[in-house]
Structure 1
Amino acid sequence: MRTAIDNYLKAIFECSFSKRKTTNKQLADYLKVAPPSVNGTIKKLEEKGLVYRRPYGPIMLSDVGLQQTLKLIRHFRLCESWLVYDFDLPLQLVPRQAWLISDFDNPQIINQLNNYLNYPKFSPFGGAIQDSNLMTNDGSQPLINFNRGQRVRINSYLESENMINVLQTMNLDLKQTLTIISYNPHKQMLKAKREDSHVLNISEEIAKCVYVSTLDS
C-alpha cells in the first residue's frame, strides 16, 4: 500500500522537475490538500533526512531522498509502460493505476518486466525510465519559459488526468512541434501554433507542466 511518504516524494519530484526545488503552495495545489497538512508531512520527511527545507524557502530532495524517489518513479513509469503495452485502458487511467500497482521491491519482478518490455527508455508520457540523469534533468524546460517566435518540441508532460484530457482535446502529443505566438500574463494564457497552423490557447497552469526543448539553433 502506498504511504504518505511515497506520495509526497513523488509529488516533490514532479513539482520540482527541471528546477530541483518546489514550494509548500505548489505541493498543496498538486496534492489537493491544505498547506498545514503539507507542513506536517514535510517535517517528517526532514526528520528522516529525505528533504531539505529552508525557513520560508524552497523544498528540495536530499541525496538520500532523491535516490529513494528515483526508485519509486522508475517502477511507476515502468508500470505505466506495461499498462499501455498490454491493457486497453484509457490513457487517463494509466498513471493512477500504475502508481498503485508499482508498489513492489522485488528485483526479479523488475528485471522480468524490463525484459518483457525490452527495457523501455521512456514512459508513455515522455519521462525517462532507465537513465537516472535524464530522469532528473533531460534538458527540457516548461513551455511557459519560452518566448514569441521560438519553436519547441514536446518531450514530456505531467501525467495527471486533467493534463491528459487537455492535451488530447488540443490534439497534442509527444514530439509535436509548437511555435510560440504570445503570452498574456494578465490572462495567464499562452498562445501557440501547431505544425498544421492551428492556434492554441494554453493556460499558464498547463504550460508549466508541459516540458519542451527548443528547435532554434
Structure 2
Amino acid sequence: MVVEQPGDVSVAAEDCLKVVYAATEWHAAEVTVSSLRERLGVGAPTVSEMVRRLRERGLVTHEPYGPVALTGEGTVLALRMLRRHRLVETYLVAELGYTWDEVHDEAERLEHVVSDRLLQRMAARLGDPDRDPHGDPIPRPDGTVVRPAALPLELFGRGEAGVVARVSDADPALLRYFSAQGIGLDQRIEVVDRRRAVASATVRVGAGPDAAEVDLTDVAGGALWLVRE
C-alpha cells in the first residue's frame, strides 16, 4: 500500500478522508455526517454531498443515518494526507521554530500543495521521523503505521505512572498550558491523587528533585496518552 502517490480527489474530499481516519485512530468510534460537519466546519448539505460523492468513488461506505467508514482505497488516500500533514508539522517545529500549538493550521494549508519531491526531502532532512510533534504516528511511504501502546491518562489510577506518548492537538490553548507545566512527549507522569467527584486529578510531572505536582481537569487529562511504566 503506497501513500506517496496523489489521488485525483478534491482538497475538501482529502480533508474529509483524513478526518474520518483520524477520528478513529486512537479509539473506536463511529463517524457520522453530523460529526464530520462539526470537524470540517461546513454545512450539513455540503458534507452530505461530499460523502455521497466519496461513496460513489468507492472511498467510503455509508448508509442513510449510519456511520461513515473508509474503504481500502479511502484508507490509502487518508494515510497519504496524514503523512503529508504530520511531516509538515514536524518540519515546521524542527526546522522553522514553530511551537506545537501553531503548526496545525499551517500544515492544513501546506499539505495540499507541497510536492512529493519536497516532502521526501523534508522527511530525509528530519531523519524519517515516525511521529509528529504531538506524538501522532507518521504513516510510512508504504502505508504502514506504528502506533505506541498508549492509553489515555484517565485510565491511570492513583500511584500509576507512564511516559507521555501522545498529546491531542485539538485545543491549542491546552497545548500552551501543557508547555507551561513542563508536560510534553516522553515526560514521565504519575497520578498522585484522583478526584472523580470533581473530575480532576493531581499528577507528578517528571522524576527526582525537579518533579512538580500539577492539577489537571479530566478534560485536560483526556488529551494525554501514556505508555505504562
Shorter-chain TM range is 0.7 to 0.9
User: For residue 169 of structure 1, what is the aligned residue in structure 2?
Assistant: 180
Matched residue type, 1:12: V
> Matched residue of 1:76: which SS?
helix
In 2, distance between residues paired with 1:191 and 1:35?
A: 41
Matched residue type, 1:72: M
1:143 aligns with 2:170: no
Pick closer, same or farther for the CA change 1:170–1:118 going to 2, 3 Å. same
Matched residue type, 1:14: A
Task: Determine which structure has more spread, i.e. the larger CA radius of gyration.
Answer: 2
Question: Which digits, 9 at most, give the CA deviation of each residue in 1:112-139, with x for residues without a partner?
Answer: 222233322322222222544435x432
CA displacement at 1:95 relative to structure 2:
1.8
In 1, distance between residues paired with 2:194 and 2:48?
A: 33
User: For residue 153 of structure 1, what is the aligned residue in structure 2?
Assistant: 163
In 2, distance between residues paired with 1:210 and 1:179?
A: 12
Matched residue type, 2:85: F
In 2, distance between residues paired with 1:58 and 1:207?
A: 28
> Matched residue of 1:91: which SS?
coil
State whether residues 31 and 67 of structure 2, in contact with CA within 8 Å, keep that contact through their aligned partners in structure 1. Answer: yes
> Matched residue of 1:86: which SS?
helix
Matched residue type, 1:166: Y
Return 5+ residue gaps in structure 1 as ranges: none
In 1, distance between residues paired with 2:42 and 2:195?
A: 29
The 5-angstrom pairing of residues 4-23 of structure 1 reads 4-23=12-31
- How much is the aligned-residue C-alpha RMSD, in angstroms? 3.1
State whether residues 148 and 227 of structure 2, in contact with CA within 8 Å, keep that contact through their aligned partners in structure 1. Answer: no
In 2, distance between residues paired with 1:60 and 1:202?
A: 34
After TM superposition, the structure 1 stretch with the greater mean CA deviation from structure 2, 24-33 or 76-85, is 24-33
Pick closer, same or farther for the CA change 1:206–1:85 going to 2, 3 Å. same
State whether residues 14 and 158 of structure 1, in contact with CA within 8 Å, keep that contact through their aligned partners in structure 2. Answer: no
1:124 aligns with 2:124: no
User: For residue 213 of structure 2, what is the aligned residue in structure 1?
Assistant: 199
Return 5+ residue gaps in structure 2 as ranges: 1-9
